Amino acid sequence: MVSIKDVAKEAGVAISTVSKVLNHYPNISEQTQKKVMDAVEKLNFVPNQVAAALSSKRSGRIALLLKLNMKTQAIDEIDMQYISGALAMAQEKKLDVITVFYSVIAEMNLQEMIRYFSSQSISGIVIFGMNDDDKVLHQLIESQTFKIVVVDGAETNESTSVVGVDHYQAQYDVAQKTMRENMCRSILYIAGMRNSYVTHEKIRAMEDLAKKHNVKLLIRNGDFSELKARNIALRYAKNKDIVVCGSDLMAIGAMKALIDMDIFRPVCGFDGIILMGYVGKQMNTVKQNFFKVASESVCELNRLLNGSSGRKVRLPYTLVRLKYEDIIC
Amino acid sequence: MVSIKDVAKEAGVAISTVSKVLNHYPNISEQTQKKVMDAVEKLNFVPNQVAAALSSKRSGRIALLLKLNMKTQAIDEIDMQYISGALAMAQEKKLDVITVFYSVIAEMNLQEMIRYFSSQSISGIVIFGMNDDDKVLHQLIESQTFKIVVVDGAETNESTSVVGVDHYQAQYDVAQKTMRENMCRSILYIAGMRNSYVTHEKIRAMEDLAKKHNVKLLIRNGDFSELKARNIALRYAKNKDIVVCGSDLMAIGAMKALIDMDIFRPVCGFDGIILMGYVGKQMNTVKQNFFKVASESVCELNRLLNGSSGRKVRLPYTLVRLKYEDIIC
DNA sequence: TTGTATGCGTTATCAG
DNA sequence: CTGATAACGCATACAA
């Protein structure tokens, strides 16, 4: 393996000089800079990130924390977009990435969790799909031991940012659009996980919308489950005018239920996943760019790592209807 | 951060002794062993893997090489299963994992690729979805620079294993089952990527099957694309008795085409992805356990890392039909 | 502007 | 059986 030492020898300079050139230190003469870069080029040298991390203490290693649902592929689609978006930006920012599933850390207390990440030289974490009742994670955030970006999260602090679309506004928009396209005096809203931050936001949006337009609103809890949404729709959809769902997967469950009941109600979803194209019926939905969400999260994390302080980053969304023709390729 | 030095001081022994205890060296007295373990416990010490990797050169870091398809969610499902299976086993075997997409290394030559992985202290690689014409990857395998497991691959060598189901037999079985369930004198086979190893196997199976049962066989290339399969079905399915596809996604494309043409032909797929449950029509397919494939691959890689030599590992499969009721949850 | 020396946390090689 | 001590590859304060 070719090391910085070889480069130094080849270029006829000291190791530290090579290091400085590579890390863009100021006060290096054009000449030595060129000598070093030539040697790097010639030897095809790539710095050993592990050694660099050890030496500098500032590892450049970040963790992606994902909540994996082993049964529902819609989640797979979103998680894959998250992963690829994150990796793309990580590569650009030269960050080393490890992927961790909630199941791995589920049983840990705060100290164990800190040790777990520390032992891996992690300095930043992107948390996807966090809930209110992930108590230890909240403690982890409050401890400010690591720089953290929470996707679709709520609170920020000095070393914690949140990134995501405005779920309140998006839910409001898509539901209002669906209302306006149809005669609507009453809405069935099938909400996501009760303890999820985005669910609070979305319910708030629906309540405000219902109040503004003076329509009846029935809220039921679908827990992001296709099956639960199906059962809720079977039970309550009949005497409502439209069905609004907190996720596409639940919208699909509800729509399938309506088809089985042989009645029609407009259904709208949330997320814009490809699976929507396979269902046969078109629905309004909010298209989030999960790739972008993740890449922006890593970008933001990188900023935190470089000393900036936590903040809230809002990403755009669009309202769409997905047809089979749109998604086949 | 508590280091091995702190443990040594606490236990009243030398650093090297602590290291030996931790790495289960022989010839350590019960007594010091206990002293060290007590100190480890008390200080809540977890070894720094980064430093260990640097020092030992044998990193315990492995890379997952995935071919990401940004448009088709079916692939997402499979890739997610791969990732989670791999991570699960990696955790068990205490291996550090990084995830790499083909796009990252696509343009590299052999030397650059070796440097890339070396610089990350990678010692083993699991390659998913490799094709015949990934020339540089073949060189990488031949170079035996790293321990490698190729999922659904062909050749092995001293430091390379292959893991996967028997695609020949599986394709044979599912097609034969579908044939027997229907009057069948002619088959349309929509094959996967031309340059993929599994495609060769599957085509061979179909040819043998057709010969044995003395039925007509038309083979067309669908490249694992839902759209291409659709077009092929539109064009050729009408005067064939059954349609056999090299992947579920193509089976879905073909089935949708048949529905559009308003004719019925039995279609069978391959993979057993959840999306099959959403299509409305049931089809025979081969269910692979992708989670298991990946976890077994990592397990096998671990064995290679520990000095065993390359071999071929066969995993089981089952024939199934997926209904919406099976996949909703 | 460049080079020297030290340390990061661990493993590994020797003496003892 | 245990303990110094030299690497591992790189970053960085400090000296020149």
Please tell me the least confidently modeled range out of A18-22, A184-188, A296-300, B100-104. Answer: B100-104
**Could you tell me the residue ranges of all domains in chain A?**
48-164+291-315, 167-287
Strands (E), A124-257: 124-127, 147-151, 160-165, 186-191, 216-221, 242-245
Picking from B51, B77, B280, the nearest residue to A76 by CB comes out as: B77
Whole-number distance in Å between A11 CA and C4 C1': 18
Confidence of residue B227 (pLDDT cuts 50, 70, 90): very high
pLDDT digits (tens, 9 = 90+) for A273-287: 988 988 888 999 999
User: Which bases of chain C are contacted by protein, using any atom under 7 A from a CB?
Assistant: 1-5, 7-13
Alpha-carbon span B196 to B252, nearest angstrom = 20
Nearest CA in chain B to A274: B73
CA dihedral angle for residue A221, residue A226, residue A230, residue A233, rounded to 10 degrees: 40
Strand-by-strand arrangement of the A186-191 sheet? A216-221, A186-191, A242-245, A267-268, A284-287, A318-321
pLDDT of residue B265: 95
Mean pLDDT of A241-260: 95
- Best mean pLDDT range from A116-130, B32-46, B121-135, B156-170: B156-170
Contacts of B275 in chain A (CB under 8 A): 73, 275, 278
pTM to 2 decimals? 0.88
Flag whether pLDDT at A95 surpasses 90. no
CATH number of B48-164+291-315: 3.40.50.2300
HSE, side-chain direction, 13 A CA sphere, residue B76 = 24
Would the Cβ of A13 be found within 7 angstroms of any atom in strand C? yes
Q: Which residue's C-alpha is at the least distance from the C1' of C3?
A: A14
Closest nt to A29 (CA→C1')?
C1
Q: pLDDT tens-digit profile of B297-322? A: 999 999 998 888 999 999 999 999 98
Angle at A303 (CA atoms; ends A297, A304), nearest 5 degrees: 90
Half-sphere exposure of B297 (CA within 13 A, CB side): 34
Contact A288, A272 (CB under 8 A): yes
The secondary structure element, H or E, covering residue B61 is: strand B61-66
The yes/no answer on whether domain A167-287 falls in CATH 3.40.50.2300 is yes
